[in-house]
Amino acid sequence: MTPEPNAPTGTDTPRTGPPPGCPAHRTGPGGPSRLHESGDLKKLYEELRAEHGPVAPVLIHDDVPLWVVLGHAESQQLVRSPARFCKDSRIWSALEEGLVKPDHPLMPHIAWQPMCAHAEGDEHRRLRGAIDAAVAATDFRSLRRHVNRSVQRVVNRFCEAGEADLVGQYAEHLPMAVMCHVLGMPDEYNDRMVEAARDMIRGTETAIASNAYVMGALERLTARRRAEPGNDFAGHLVAHPAGLTDDEVSQHLRVVLIASYEATANLLANVLRQVLVDPRFRSQLNGGQMTVPQAVEQLLWDEPPFSTIFAYFAKQETELGGRRIRKGDGLLFAPAPANVDPRVRPDPAADMRGNRSHLAFGGGPHECPGQDIGRTMAEVGVDALLMRLPDVELSISEDELTFTESIASRHLVRLPVHFRPRPQQDVLQKPSHENDASPRRNRHTAPPDPTPPPVQPVPAPPPVAEPAPPLNAWQRFLRWWRGY
């Protein structure tokens, strides 16, 4: 690749048309690739890296030009240089020049909104300050306890059947159950809420009705917390001295709910898939050579839940990765290719355990504020499931697994598994196969039967558990301390 000569930085020459020879405006054979037409984005990113280096010209729908940042170091520069790049799409020249039509498929990501994800400077600090304060108030011991209880509830719905789809019945439910509780509306967690979030993410025909359903719940929550303070995420947003309006509170709750739900469901599904398809990975986990947090971190490198984030925009003429970037150019921040940049990972199969310098949570002023909440849901979600169903096995072969892929993310469609049918458990108990009433099996010594058990008709759920006898003060303390 021959880098373009670097233009001096800091010049604010207004754009009057494509820069001469700009590869992003050259179409036809040999011109920039259309990202949205690719059936294999991983492969395309590597071809682009080989041809153009760490910053490559591409086209998105309607042949709108964009730079995709493929390098790890260049991605860090992009997100950590607020004087040069921002997330305010109103300065995007493709928008100003009318290249992006109102019905552009990426409009939900493109359209500027008065949200912290698009705001800059003092306004970003105001909104972000309220979110950071709400996250800082999280009691992680109680969060872990709540995730364990949610695992019990979600697994109780399928444990007696001996089979399940761990995407549709587990990974897509657990984060919603937890986030409804974290935000302050535990009673709103139900199948309809999960369905609504799925709809909004996939942009299906019912996405608008689903958005109205979710917003209705969040607006009721905001009004409740305005009337009556509460020690939950919504309560902290309402009470923060930044003085968020009701509309700002409910819109930020929506971003938090949907973004955290989608990312965590994706991460959870990816870690579980890896455990199920890679016997080495699983035996390292079972044998203690790898901890669950390390397994989660490895997947954040290999399969970041958001493959790309749309988008950053150049505030001035500048240079990135040897490319001349014009004022108003759009740049796609792309954790998926940046995490496999050969300059930081010469061997893509190398073990990255314990190394947190991946870009799955972004960086700089917009770095994900909820990353430790996301990590906790994924870690406990994997650990507790394997504690309850230690003999869980994939029901199809690895090459039958299918994914949906868009520029923004790659999702596993289904993860069908089987295991020995088990009774439900008391949600107040720590998830464990030892709580099963049926005969125990030691997962380290007794390998599971490789033949899938016949599908059992699902009987009416038995009563969950007898109410436990009252606990004395010491038992209550132990329960609080251990989290179960």
What are the residues binding ligand HEM (CB under 6 A)? 79, 116-117, 128, 131, 135, 255-256, 259-260, 263-264, 267, 305-306, 309, 333, 360-362, 366-371, 373-374
**Gap between the Cα atoms of 1 and 22, Å rounded:** 14
Our CB check for ligand HEM shows the closer of 123 and 165 to be 123
Question: What Cα–Cα distance (Å) separates residue 96 from each residue in 14, 25, 58, 217?
Answer: 12, 16, 19, 36
Our CB check for ligand HEM shows the closer of 127 and 290 to be 127
Our CB check for ligand HEM shows the closer of 143 and 325 to be 143
Our CB check for ligand HEM shows the closer of 138 and 395 to be 138
**Gap between the Cα atoms of 296 and 407, Å rounded:** 23
Q: How far is the CB of 402 from ligand HEM (least distance, A)?
A: 22
Q: How far is the CB of 217 from ligand HEM (least distance, A)?
A: 17
Q: How far is the CB of 130 from ligand HEM (least distance, A)?
A: 10
Q: Tokens 């000569």 label which residue?
A: 5
Our CB check for ligand HEM shows the closer of 267 and 387 to be 267
DSSP for residue 310: E
Which structure tokens are listed for 392?
A: 């869980």
Q: How far is the CB of 252 from ligand HEM (least distance, A)?
A: 7
8 Å CB contact between 384 and 150: no
Q: How far is the CB of 234 from ligand HEM (least distance, A)?
A: 12
- The b/e string for 171-206 (b: 16+ C-beta within 10 A; e otherwise) is bbbbbbbbbbbbbbbeebbeeebbebbbbbbeeeee
Our CB check for ligand HEM shows the closer of 123 and 219 to be 123
Our CB check for ligand HEM shows the closer of 140 and 480 to be 140
Our CB check for ligand HEM shows the closer of 163 and 232 to be 232
**Gap between the Cα atoms of 480 and 484, Å rounded:** 7
CB atoms within 10 A of CB 432: 14
Nearest to 96, CA basis, from 38, 162, 17 = 17
Nearest to 329, CA basis, from 28, 32, 29 = 32
DSSP helix, strand, coil percent of the chain (3-state; round to 5): 45, 10, 45
Our CB check for ligand HEM shows the closer of 64 and 259 to be 259
8 Å CB contact between 412 and 449: no
Our CB check for ligand HEM shows the closer of 321 and 370 to be 370
Q: How far is the CB of 462 from ligand HEM (least distance, A)?
A: 34
Q: What string of DSSP letters covers 180-233?
A: HHHHT-GGG-SHHHHHHHHHHHHT-TTHHHHHHHHHHHHHHHHHHHHHS--SSH
**Gap between the Cα atoms of 361 and 289, Å rounded:** 26
Which structure tokens are listed for 311?
A: 């988008």
Which residues are 421's β-sheet partners? none
Our CB check for ligand HEM shows the closer of 19 and 364 to be 364
Q: What string of DSSP letters covers 15-64?
A: P-SSPTT-GGG--STTS-EEGGG-S-HHHHHHHHHHHH-SEEEEEEGGGE
Peptide bond into 350 cis (omega under 30): no
**Gap between the Cα atoms of 415 and 389, Å rounded:** 15
**Gap between the Cα atoms of 77 and 84, Å rounded:** 9
Our CB check for ligand HEM shows the closer of 296 and 389 to be 296
Our CB check for ligand HEM shows the closer of 161 and 299 to be 299
Q: How far is the CB of 124 from ligand HEM (least distance, A)?
A: 6
Q: How far is the CB of 371 from ligand HEM (least distance, A)?
A: 6
The DSSP bridge pattern shows strands 323-325 and 163-165 to be unpaired
Q: How far is the CB of 373 from ligand HEM (least distance, A)?
A: 4
Which structure tokens are listed for 477?
A: 């303390």
Q: Which residue is nearest to ligand HEM (CB)?
A: 370
Q: How far is the CB of 223 from ligand HEM (least distance, A)?
A: 21
Q: How far is the CB of 340 from ligand HEM (least distance, A)?
A: 16
Q: How far is the CB of 370 from ligand HEM (least distance, A)?
A: 2
Q: How far is the CB of 87 from ligand HEM (least distance, A)?
A: 6
